[in-house]
Amino acid sequence: MIAPRVISLDLDDTLWPVTPVIEAAEIALLSWLRAHHPRAAAGHDIESLRTLRARIAEQFPDQGHDMTLLRRRVLAELFAAAGYEGLPAAESLAAAGLPAAGSLAAGTPVEEALEVFMKERNRVELYDDVRPALARLRSTYRLFALSNGNADLDRCGIAELFDGHITASAAGAAKPDRRIFAHLLLVAGVEAHEVLHIGDDPLADVVGATQAGMRAVWLNREARTWPEQFAPPLRTISTLAEIM
């Protein structure tokens, strides 16, 4: 077996627990909306915002891989519904084919609200094993983040440990789609058999990477049972300290 040249790692629930991060970001966003734009927040709570986001995701399935764009469209719809002028609703954003970044002028309520969310979304607490393991692995391998989410490595404080970050929004597809893994190979300049991917999600990370021709390791921090409908992973670990 050829030793890997590149190790790719998922982020959410692999390097940090993501549920408390998203919950904190949603609370911060709603609090900010109520304080600064109460008309937009009127009648909404955390659950109603989640329902709106799910509806927007169903409405634009071809953009489901781009979490930031979905968040932006939710906010655009909130402000448009509240009667804010000059702000397109989600449908208008889609019709214009606007990208995830820079779709509205900086300083608009939508972008200000999105920044509130993103600031909290990137306030992560790494698992204890992460930073030591990455520092050790980096001395031998090239490390790439490979994520479906919209975390920012710089804001998370770990960019210096990675050679690059492959996002679903940049690749135009989310794991387990082969296209995001192909994008990693293109950016890293390696063949599939030269990559070892590590992640917590059986389908998105392990099955996806394996089907793309890579080796994959399942990071199972919670002693979960492997889904019986999938072929067993090459290897299962409970912390990153067990790698190499």
pLDDT tens-place string over residues 169-219: 999 999 999 999 999 999 999 999 999 999 999 999 999 999 999 999 999
* Domain edges within the chain: 6-17+126-242, 19-121
Phi-psi region of 128 (alpha: psi -120 to 50; beta: other; left: phi over 0): alpha
Whether residue 145 contacts residue 163, with contact meaning beta carbons closer than 8 Å, is answered with: no
Q: Which fold has domain 19-121?
A: Four Helix Bundle (Hemerythrin (Met), subunit A) (1.20.120)
Beta bridge partner(s), residue 7: 143, 196
Which superfamily, per CATH, for 6-17+126-242? HAD superfamily/HAD-like (3.40.50.1000)
Residue 174, classified by CB atoms within 10 Å of its CB into exposed (0-12), middle (13-18) or buried (19+), is buried
pTM: 0.89
Beta bridge partner(s), residue 235: 217
Greatest Cα pair distance in the chain: 61
Low-confidence ranges of the chain (pLDDT < 70): 1-2, 85-107
Distance (Å, whole) CA 77 – CA 213: 41
3-class SS string, the chain: CCCCCEEEECCECCCECCHHHHHHHHHHHHHHHHHHCHHHHCCCCHHHHHHHHHHHHHHCHHHCCCHHHHHHHHHHHHHHHCCCCCCCCHHHHHHCCCCCCCCCCCCCHHHHHHHHHHHHHCCCCCCCCHHHHHHHHHCCCEEEEEECCCCCHHHHCCHHHCCEEEEHHHHCCCCCCHHHHHHHHHHHCCCHHHEEEEECCHHHHHHHHHHCCCEEEEECCCCCCCCCCCCCCCEEECCHHHCC
**The pLDDT value given to residue 108:** 85
Find, among 83, 84, 27, 89, the residue nearest to 56 by Cα. Answer: 89
Distance (Å, whole) CA 207 – CA 216: 8
User: Cα angle vertex 123, ends 21, 34, to 5°?
Assistant: 70
